[in-house]
Structure 1
């Protein structure tokens, strides 16, 4: 994810007068004067490749603007009432949970029809998100009225929704989700009231109670029964809801200025996301499932994961500052002559096919099922790619392919590495079988 600054700040960075602040190799989205150390500005947008950052469910509001970040960290008792980023961010998480869990009304449990998966794929999710934000759809107990939201999808989709609603196994699944969602809503409302309290001790006590409610909500979504006999798409949806709740838990620590706890929460969440995403990919059994999860996981990895990493970088950077550096930052004067606002997201892009979908369709013409699945795992397990490179290098050396050395393989695309791996794997297994026939 690359941050974009105002023209003046960008020109200053290019001239060497300003410096983009990094923490643990990740940009914080703010810029400092190289001579004085003062903050001079913060990013107005961020891009992933050629596209504006547009996460699947992680609110960009959790990335605080430079001035607010410093002021809140220094005197959070004075500024906590102005933490609009918390209010907007939690509301966004609520909306996203409603969308994510509602689509289980089509996914259900067990085998999923291809037409059902297409009706709630990445592109459809982005359109549903916009519809819910504009209050176009009815929401009850955390579930969108899919008959209303997907009325243009045809009779087959309406029949699947009806069939899933009659399924006893799914109804038990749905009850657990409703219980978790109800706790999340209660916690959200209580946090809104808690951060307005004047008494410091009482405020902290109520926020701790909010956190306890969120942990109970999380326990519902992580109930082992929810993961029994469900497909990879259903498992992904369940995990996505838990990741949203864990972000809410991190915000409860942030409004208490417990930055060490925030950093720890985000570190553990990113680690959990990597592990659980790989579980989803490993459980993928068909092209229909892969068609569903590949673009969505790609979108999350490129956008949401980057936001979480930047959020943690901002927190860790503030924690690393000395008292003198903090005092210097307090006296920083931001350039207000140019537009400076929260990151801009072009919502019109939801009407177009997501680039992740287009990229996946291109890959399917050049790869097979197992190759595609491994390319997806690479996003979270780069060590697996290295193992493949080593194997290719060994087999290529035996076969006399002198160009397939590690240095060249490291520059190759994921597509090339994975396809080469399976080429040599099949070749190796065939040679082994032929050898055994003569033993």
Structure 2
């Protein structure tokens, strides 16, 4: 994450007249304070990094940060205000407004995910249909819903109008799913779950206006109980049966949205230790769920759908949740006076003081598809799927590195038995792995005529050049 302050504040930070507070683990926070008086001066605007010095440089997130050049944090599931709300919650009118919008954002996100899941349906689906509800489309649909240009009914949005330009096949798919008996049973459970979720959100939002603290907490407790009830419906294992990888991802995203809403309810009651614990577990759950989806991906068309979206969740949503957790942990170290002083920065916490110096374009917000298309020119389906798995669980890469080393020595490519893998990209590791896999397979099984005519795997030209020096 990068924090962008107003030019005046940044100049004072550069000279040491102001400092940024940090968590106990050394993570900087989006606030500037006077080191002498201890008073907070400004809360920053949060952007994703344009450069990185971490090991993710060698993977898809590092490539994405260089390709995108940085931009505003625009998570897919997490509410967009989440990273500043903890700093502004203390008895603040604007702080409560932010919480209200965060909850509303989650309600819209859930409806959008359900609506696009309904287009996908149950079972295999074509690449044309998947592309109609991919990352770029979801961002557009969500924006339309936020501006109330699309109506939510029973937790679903009728997407026929907004997708009418995507072709006859997409419209036919929408009608097919609408009359599919299996999906109708699936849909009815989601209708019930969304109804409970929506009522819970409204109850928590109305609680924000209750001046009596005891009554407010009682209303939040009731709303939270309803959220747990909705979570049981969405997180039921049987609900996911028959869904392709893309459909499963959409269903999991609905679960995460409810989990985030639960975290907000504990935040409202300043139960910071519970918020921190839930956010920590949610980060682990999201990574585990994503890895399950990626491992279950069986086709290139599904990966075309999954890769940009999973990358967005990794680079934005998980970053937002991590920083939310860091801020919650930090809030526990502040005195009530300091929390109140943070809340007084309402007039500086809006977007108006940044808009004069930062210009956002939609191209920056959707750098993930461009990254994926670039990688596709240098790799192939299985390799790309594994690169995504490395990003989710970096320790998986070790087994690939070991295999490449062993095969490189055994087959006469000693230069590829690298002693230090830290500077080698995930793309190269995965491509080399399948290079040696293909050689090993061909040495054990005589290729058929079909295999010779249509090989299962081939090198990108760039990788062939890299390997030529070893011959």
TM-score for the superposition, normalised by structure 2: 0.82
Matches within 5 A, 1:214-293: 214-293=227-306
Question: Residue 432 of structure 2 is aligned with which of 420, 427, 432?
Answer: 420
Q: Which residue of 2 aligns with 1:75?
A: none
Where does the alignment leave 5 or more consecutive residues of structure 2 unmatched?
A: 51-68, 447-471
Tell me by how many angstroms 1:219 deviates.
1.0
1:341 is aligned to 2:341: no
C-alpha change, 1:193 and 1:373, in structure 2 (3 Å) is same
Q: Which residue of 2 aligns with 1:40?
A: 41
Q: Which residue of 1 aligns with 2:398?
A: 386
Q: Which residue of 2 aligns with 1:108?
A: 121
Please give the per-residue CA displacement for 1:288-334, whole angstroms capped at 9, x wherever unaligned. Answer: 1000011111111111111111111100111234x5xx656766898
Please give the per-residue CA displacement for 1:398-431, whole angstroms capped at 9, x wherever unaligned. Answer: 5452464242x21122211211222233345556
1:120 is aligned to 2:133: yes
CA–CA distance in structure 1, aligned partners of residues 205 and 340 of structure 2: 27
1:155 is aligned to 2:181: no
CA–CA distance in structure 1, aligned partners of residues 218 and 427 of structure 2: 52
Q: Secondary structure at the match of 1:28?
A: coil
C-alpha change, 1:392 and 1:33, in structure 2 (3 Å) is farther
CA–CA distance in structure 1, aligned partners of residues 342 and 49 of structure 2: 29
Preserved CA contact (<8 Å) 2:43 2:345: no
Question: Residue 299 of structure 1 is aligned with which of 312, 315, 323?
Answer: 312
1:370 is aligned to 2:373: no
C-alpha change, 1:246 and 1:335, in structure 2 (3 Å) is closer
Q: Which residue of 2 aligns with 1:178?
A: 191
Q: Which residue of 1 aligns with 2:216?
A: 203
Please give the per-residue CA displacement for 1:328-362, whole angstroms capped at 9, x wherever unaligned. Answer: 676689899x9652497999744788210011011
Q: Which residue of 1 aligns with 2:464?
A: none
Question: Residue 55 of structure 1 is aligned with which of 75, 81, 85?
Answer: 75
Please give the per-residue CA displacement for 1:101-149, whole angstroms capped at 9, x wherever unaligned. Answer: 0012210001112211111111111111111112222321111111122
CA–CA distance in structure 2, aligned partners of residues 370 and 138 of structure 1: 40
Tell me by how many angstroms 1:36 deviates.
4.8
Tell me by how many angstroms 1:42 deviates.
1.8
CA–CA distance in structure 1, aligned partners of residues 363 and 258 of structure 2: 28
CA–CA distance in structure 1, aligned partners of residues 122 and 359 of structure 2: 32
CA–CA distance in structure 1, aligned partners of residues 21 and 364 of structure 2: 34
Preserved CA contact (<8 Å) 1:81 1:196: no
Tell me by how many angstroms 1:157 deviates.
1.7
TM-score for the superposition, normalised by structure 1: 0.88
C-alpha change, 1:177 and 1:335, in structure 2 (3 Å) is closer
Preserved CA contact (<8 Å) 1:123 1:353: no
- How well do the aligned residues superpose, as a CA RMSD in angstroms? 2.8
Preserved CA contact (<8 Å) 1:48 1:303: no
Tell me by how many angstroms 1:152 deviates.
2.2
1:410 is aligned to 2:422: yes
Preserved CA contact (<8 Å) 1:281 1:376: yes
Please give the per-residue CA displacement for 1:158-194, whole angstroms capped at 9, x wherever unaligned. Answer: 1111111110001011111111100011101111222
C-alpha change, 1:294 and 1:251, in structure 2 (3 Å) is same
Q: Secondary structure at the match of 1:18?
A: coil
Q: Secondary structure at the match of 1:280?
A: helix
Question: Residue 355 of structure 1 is aligned with which of 360, 363, 367?
Answer: 367
Q: Which residue of 1 aligns with 2:459?
A: none
